[in-house]
Amino acid sequence: MAVKMRLQRHGSKKRPFYFIVVADGRAPRDGKFIQKLGTYNPLTVPATIQVDRQKALDWLQKGAQPTDTVRRILSFKGVLYLKHLLRGVSLGLFDEAGAMEKFTAWTTEHDSNVTRRQGAHKKARNDKRDQPIVKKVEAKVDAAPAEAAVEAPAEEAVETPIAETPAAEDADTPPSEETKTEE
| Residue 177 domain flag | no
57 and 10 within one domain:
yes
| Residue 168 domain flag | no
**Can you give the CATH number for the domain in which 12 is found?**
3.30.1320.10
From 52, 78, 93, give the residue that closes a domain: 93
Going from the C-alpha of 17 to that of each of 12, 27, 43, 56, the distances in angstroms are 8, 19, 8, 19
Q: Which domain holds residue 51?
A: 3-93
Question: In whole angstroms, what is the distance from residue 72 CA to residue 70 CA?
Answer: 5
Locate the DSSP E strands across 2-160.
Answer: 3-10, 17-24, 35-41, 48-51, 65-66
Question: In whole angstroms, what is the distance from residue 179 CA to residue 42 CA?
Answer: 71
pLDDT tens for each residue of the chain, 183 residues long: 689 999 999 999 999 999 999 999 898 888 889 999 999 999 987 889 999 999 999 999 999 999 999 999 999 999 999 999 999 999 989 899 999 999 999 999 999 998 998 898 888 888 888 877 666 666 666 666 656 555 655 555 556 555 555 555 555 556 656 555 555
Q: Which of 93, 94, 74, 71 is nearest to 82 (CA)?
A: 74
| Residue 175 domain flag | no
| Residue 60 domain flag | yes
99 and 29 within one domain:
no
7 and 87 within one domain:
yes
Looking only at the bridges linking them, the beta strands covering 17-24 and 65-66 are unpaired
| Residue 127 domain flag | yes
What are the φ/ψ torsions at residue 160 (nearest 5 degrees)? -90, 140
144 and 67 within one domain:
no
Q: Which of 76, 70, 79, 71 is nearest to 18 (CA)?
A: 70
82 and 26 within one domain:
yes
Going from the C-alpha of 80 to that of each of 9, 172, 181, the distances in angstroms are 23, 76, 82
| Residue 171 domain flag | no
Question: In whole angstroms, what is the distance from residue 79 CA to residue 93 CA?
Answer: 19
Cis, bond preceding 42 (omega within 30 deg of 0): no
Threshold 0.75, pTM exceeds: no
74 and 12 within one domain:
yes
114 and 75 within one domain:
no
87 and 10 within one domain:
yes
134 and 89 within one domain:
no
56 and 10 within one domain:
yes
67 and 31 within one domain:
yes
Looking only at the bridges linking them, the beta strands covering 3-10 and 35-41 are unpaired
When divided into structural domains, the chain yields a total of 2
48 and 35 within one domain:
yes
